Amino acid sequence: MAEYKDREHYIPLRQSDLVELLGRDLGSDRDAIALLRKLDALLSATFHYEYYRLLQELKDRYAPFDPDAVTTPIHQLTADERLQKQEELYERFTFLMERANFKKLTMDEIKVLAEGVSEWGLNMDVDFRVFERLEVFVRGDTIGSRYVRRWWRMWKREEVRLPIFKRLVLFAKMKPNRRLPDEIDTSAVFFKVFKDIPKVDLEMLFPGAAMRMPNFHRFKLGGSLLGSGAWILYSVFGQLADMVARFSAAIVTSMVMGPLAALLGFGYKQWYGYQTTRTMFSLRLTQSLYYQTLGTNQTVLFHLLDEAEEQECREALLAYYYLWRHAGAAGWDAASLDDYVEMDLERLANLKVDFEIDDALAKLERLKLVTKNGERYVAVPIEKALEALDYAWDNYFRYNRT
């Protein structure tokens, strides 16, 4: 059983596409293809029901912390009860992230990533004291493309390759802090899910982060202000010294007011230019996050549950299929099945994944779709597998006493 450091467990295939892919492997055996589709339908229904129950658990635990809630609670939680509910929410949410094959970043990893900035991103100053709890989960650690235009290349569009996370999820609980707007509910827990986030731009996603203007723009505004201001002051005081010697105080005052008014006007112009530049960068940040945000708060739960549900189904279907069609009557051990699934996914779909074999086999054993002889796993005949899934489905609710 090969182990890979550069592969992830996640299988980036839609469920229907995976069934079509395996159907091609079956060739012209229409009966086998029909049975495969029935198996997929029953597996999908089974996992959908199981994840529906998980959704209800998560919704119940999230209800006291949902900043978008429109329902009225029947009783108020004490501080200790809220803390316990928050820990329960985090525990179930972490379980969901594991099922969806996300990796949790450590705080040290988060802080290192928050120090960088890309040339098209924005440099943000992150104060981690804003957070009572901050958790970051990522998936799809890969290389992506961004495009820049540089003046020394005549503004020609140029591709830049850089490390990105295909998916990134935030779990954030804030506490009162001057960096947060007054309208932010610090008793709430916030969920966010993003796509295609450059690693060096991670700090753009954190609540309470303060924008830092790039050094070039600081130099341009500051240098212009200091240089021009110094020249005006030099002119004013030079003329003042000359006029004091030749004119009365009233005349001097009237002649000095003009240059001083020019100085104040220039100062206002520079301040306005600074505010305009900040607005430009705020707009860039808003536009960037608009296209990279996939969901917020409770919608994140629905999004992730759907992904985790399909991932569970893909793993179970792949493990059963290769035991059924390729392992023969003797079956395979876990390592042989793992290697074969990975090899065939690369052959059929050019996908390099690290198949999560232990979890896949555990699901098949729980659903009674395989038998185990020593270290070898054998698929039960597919007709029996369909009967086992149908029986389990019929008995999820046992209210009929006859």
The secondary structure of 117-186 as a DSSP string is --SSS-EEE--GGGEEEEEEEEEEEEEEEEEEE-GGGTT-EEEEEEEEEEEEEEEEEE---TTS-TT--T
**In this structure, what DSSP letter does residue 209 have?**
P
Rounded to an integer, what distance in angstroms lies between the CA atom of residue 152 and that of residue 118? 18
**What pLDDT, on a 0 to 100 scale, did the predictor assign at position 398?**
73
Confidence of residue 119 (pLDDT cuts 50, 70, 90): low
Rounded to an integer, what distance in angstroms lies between the CA atom of residue 149 and that of residue 180? 34
Tell me: the pLDDT tens digits for 140-149?
Answer: 999 988 777 7
Tell me: the pLDDT tens digits for 322-377?
Answer: 999 999 899 999 999 999 999 999 999 999 999 999 999 999 999 999 999 999 99
Using CA atoms, how far residue 229 sits from 85, 235, 253, 256, 263, in Å, is 59, 10, 20, 15, 7
Tell me: the pLDDT tens digits for 78-103?
Answer: 999 999 999 999 999 999 999 999 99
Per DSSP, helices labelled H in 247-379 are 249-292, 298-325, 334-349, 357-366
Q: Where in the chain are the domains?
A: 15-63+300-394, 100-212, 215-281
What SS3 state is found at 193? Answer: strand
Which residue's entry shows tokens 């924005």?
122
**What pLDDT, on a 0 to 100 scale, did the predictor assign at position 232?**
57
**What pLDDT, on a 0 to 100 scale, did the predictor assign at position 246?**
56
Confidence of residue 395 (pLDDT cuts 50, 70, 90): confident
**In this structure, what DSSP letter does residue 357 have?**
H
Which residue's entry shows tokens 């796993």?
377
56: its two tokens: 């209800």
CB 361 within 8 A of CB 334: yes
